[in-house]
Amino acid sequence: MSETPGFVHGLAGVPVAHSRICFIDGEKGILEYRGYPIEVLAERSTFEEVAFLLIRGKLPTRAELDDWQSQMKRLRRIKYKLIDLLKCLPETGHPMEALQAGVAALGMFYPGRKSRELEPAIRLTAKLPTLVAAYHRLRAGDADVMPKDELDHGQNFLYMLSERMPDAVEARIFDQCLILHAEHSMNASTFSARVTGSTEADAYAVISSAVGTLMGSLHGGANEEVLELLGRLGTPDKVKPYLDDAMAKKEKIPGFGHRVYKTKDPRALILQGLAERLFQHRGSTPLYDVARELEKQMLERVGKKGIHPNVDYFSGIVYHLLGIQTDLFTPIFAIARVAGWLAHWVEQMEDNRIFRPSEIYTGGREVAYVPIDRR
Ligand code: ACO
């Protein structure tokens, strides 16, 4: 079926927009947000500044950044009715499901939510961490923790999760993780955001679509699966028998491969460095030895095909060392990626045309209707 002229399975390589937000060279492993190399942003910037860069299209001046940060802080709190809604959700659900429900409900609280002005974008970026942290605490039977104005975006999220002031080194590393996950051109969830936005649905519907799309194990859900796999393997000697079996069954190994990168994902390189910095601070984890062995053997087996670690490979190790529960990894991805989704929503609405692709119909025609008692 993929041989049909004009049909591109999974839309691989098919441009669906003109965009000034993100540049990727998958052969060379280059990633830039608005033209700024990811390595420079991860080293020198903060998530709040990067969110401004993505959504507003330029780096802020000091006054603009101060204003942006104070707006974000002002908009962090969520209504008590939303807390009540989160309390009613089953604690057996996944926090991504709770996040999607929370984001969808959020839009009902704000009149003028169809506005294309920036307030919904700032509000969503500000409130996503509060939703994730609140659901996490409520499902464990703990009270939610109010945001603290004196903390920056990443610090405040860590604080709302644990009710403890985060260590400065760890909070900085976490903020760098948010920067690395903030944007990645026309991936599945961003496309989903653009498609929803193209119907003129509001920003809350746009972001709840994108959260739902990020959930899957082929996309943002892979970071959780990586850590589960490393934990299951436990020691480097288990890697070979696992890979022999998985490869024979043609299984995909989580955290490897990418539609665009044919070399090691530049974000994986930076995340590996962050993991090593965290080891100096906190001590290493045996999971890292397993991860290194798995990477080595994958390189030997499928490196020639361009299958290398992607962003999800080392992020789980970093979050694990920060004491974060595994099923929060993908919601943390969403907390960061919301900036990219919103940048694409803003851009989509500047020159909008509803997405309406076609299909190649392969079903029957003019089929005779058979009454139910004769089928
Ligand atoms: N493990 C083993 N082999 C792989 C892997 C993998 N993780 N990924 C791709 N391959 C192989 C495929 O088997 C295929 O081989 P073949 O040509 O011999 O049949 C070839 O590489 C191409 O694979 P596709 O599935 O066609 O690549 P596609 O671009 O459609 O998929 C994807 C990309 C979904 C990321 C895929 O590599 C994958 O499933 N990886 C594991 C899940 C994962 O880590 N997802 C996170 C991606 S990053 C992100 O979304 C944030």
Question: Are 226 and 211 within one domain?
Answer: no
Do 22 and 183 contact (CB within 8 A), yes or no? yes
Q: How many Cα atoms occupy the beta-carbon half-sphere of 174 within 13 Å?
A: 24
pTM of the model: 0.94
Residue 167 lies in a domain: yes
Tally of domains in the chain: 2
Residue 368 covered by a domain: no
d(CA 187, CA 195): 12
Q: Residue 24, SS3?
A: strand
Yes or no: say if 104 and 204 are a contact pair by the CB < 8 Å rule: yes
Residue 145: the pLDDT is 98
Give me the sheet containing 36-37, strands edge to edge: 22-25, 30-33, 36-37
- CATH classification of the domain holding 307: 1.10.230.10
Phi, psi of 23 (to 5 degrees): -110, 135
Q: Are 92 and 129 in contact (CB under 8 A)?
A: no
Start-end of H helices in 144-238: 153-162, 168-181, 188-198, 203-214, 222-233
Question: What pLDDT is attached to residue 5?
Answer: 83
Residue 153 lies in a domain: yes
Q: Supply the residue whose CA is at minimum distance from atom 34 of ligand 1.
A: 218
Pairing of strands 30-33, 36-37: antiparallel
Tell how far the Cα of 240 is from the centroid of ligand 1, in angstroms: 19
Count the Cβ atoms, other than its own, within 10 Å of residue 12: 9
Tokens at 322, concatenated: 């920060």
Token readout for 1 is 């079926």
The residues with which 256 forms a beta bridge, in sequence order, are 309
- Distance in angstroms (rounded) separating the CA atoms of residues 308 and 263: 6
Pocket test for ligand 1, best of 213, 243, 252 (most atoms within 8 A of CB): 252
Active site residues: 258, 312
| 49 and 32 in a common domain | yes
Q: Kindly state whether residues 38 and 147 are assigned to the same domain.
A: yes
pLDDT tens sequence across 86-98? 999 999 999 999 9
CB 315 within 8 A of CB 265: no
Q: Are 163 and 236 contained in the same domain? A: no
Q: What is the dihedral of CA 7, 12, 13, 15, to 10 degrees?
A: 70
Measured distance CA(305)–CA(311) in Å, rounded: 18
- Tell me which residue has its CA closest to atom 3 in ligand 1: 252
CATH number for the domain that contains residue 124: 1.10.580.10
Which tokens in the block code for residue 63? Answer: 């006054």
181 and 49, same domain (yes or no): yes
Angle between helices 266-282 and 311-321 (to 10 degrees): 20
Question: Residue 93 falls within a domain, yes or no?
Answer: yes
Residue 169 domain-assigned? Answer: yes
Q: Is residue 33 part of a domain?
A: yes
Is the CB of residue 257 below 6 angstroms from any atom belonging to ligand 1?
Answer: yes
Please check whether residue 327 lies inside any domain of the structure. Answer: no
Q: Which atom of ligand 1 is nearest to the CA of 219?
A: 50
162 close to 322: Cβ distance less than 8 angstroms: no
Q: Strand, coil or helix: what is 36?
A: strand
Same domain, 198 and 229: no
What is residue 113's predicted lDDT score, i.e. its pLDDT? Answer: 57
Q: Provide the total of helices (H) and of strands (E) in the chain, helices listed first.
A: 16, 3
The tokens of 258 are what?
């990418």
Ligand 1 neighbourhood includes 174 CB (under 6 angstroms): no
Note whether 110 and 249 are same-domain residues.
Answer: no
Residue 246 sits in the same domain as residue 337 = no
Tokens, residue 318: 């970093």
Q: Which residues in the chain show pLDDT less than 70? A: 1-2, 111-116
Does residue 176 share a domain with residue 308? no
User: From the CB of 312, is ligand 1 less than 6 Å away?
Assistant: yes
Q: How far apart are the first and last CA of the chain?
A: 30
Question: Is 364 part of any domain?
Answer: no
Dist CA 355 CA 308 (whole Å)? 32
Do 33 and 178 share a domain, yes or no?
yes
Domain residues for the domain of 289 are 222-321
Pair 238, 144 in one domain: no
Residue 371 is predicted with a pLDDT of 97
CA angle 276, 169, 159 (to 5 degrees): 120
- The verdict on 91 and 186 lying in the same domain is yes
